[in-house]
């Protein structure tokens, strides 16, 4: 059972995400009919730690075996989606992965599956992230200059975006 519930008008999510960077590119994904790109990952299940959840999500969605390395960010993310306010707590990890896996081809868009919904995966140049609808938006700068130590980030989506 994924950790996501409604309380006090908010939807709470416990999320985990992975940072796959290779040769100046970062791997992002979006829902097939979505306009926003995210770091790959998903919701943590009850009784599951965030690293294990991330490894599971990557295997389930695209068949990629990863190793979750160091923790980069603990993120308290407040945003709205389709009028629903969200309070999300996320753990973001550096990932190591098999670069021979087909998803590592940077010149094509790849597809995965999340509970029957198609996901699109694509590599983006780090220097081009300003032109990408990446959420949460703080990642546009943080991905280009990852600190040597874990950071705590509180991000509140601007109501005008």
Q: Do the Cβ atoms of 134 and 123 come closer than 8 Å?
A: no
> Range with the lowest mean pLDDT among 13-17, 58-62, 120-124?
58-62
Distance CA 41, CA 39 (A): 6
Among 93, 90, 59, 94, CA closest to 76:
90
pTM of the predicted protein model = 0.93
The fourth-level CATH superfamily of domain 4-155 is Nucleoside Triphosphate Pyrophosphohydrolase (3.90.79.10)
DSSP for 133-148, please give it.
-BSSTTHHHHTTS--S
Domain boundaries, the chain: 4-155
Q: What is the pLDDT of residues 118-160, one digit of tens each?
A: 999 999 999 999 999 999 999 999 999 999 999 999 999 864 4
Give the pLDDT band of residue 117 (cuts 50, 70, 90).
Answer: confident
């Amino acid at each position: 059972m994924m950790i996501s519930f409604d309380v006090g008008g908010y939807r709470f999510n416990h999320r985990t995400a992975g940072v796959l960077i290779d040769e100046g590119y970062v791997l992002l994904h979006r829902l097939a009919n979505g306009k926003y790109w995210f770091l790959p990952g998903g919701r943590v299940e009850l009784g599951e730690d965030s690293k294990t959840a991330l490894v599971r999500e990557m295997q389930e969605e695209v068949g990629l075996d990863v190793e979750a390395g160091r923790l980069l960010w603990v993120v308290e993310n407040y945003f709205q989606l389709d009028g629903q306010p969200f309070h999300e707590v996320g753990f973001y990890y550096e990932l190591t992965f098999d670069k021979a896996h087909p998803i590592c081809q940077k010149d094509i868009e790849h597809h995965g599956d999340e509970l029957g919904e198609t996901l699109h995966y694509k590599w983006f140049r780090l220097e081009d992230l300003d032109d990408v609808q990446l959420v949460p938006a703080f990642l546009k700068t943080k991905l280009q200059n990852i600190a040597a130590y874990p950071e705590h980030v509180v991000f509140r989506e601007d109501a005008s975006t």
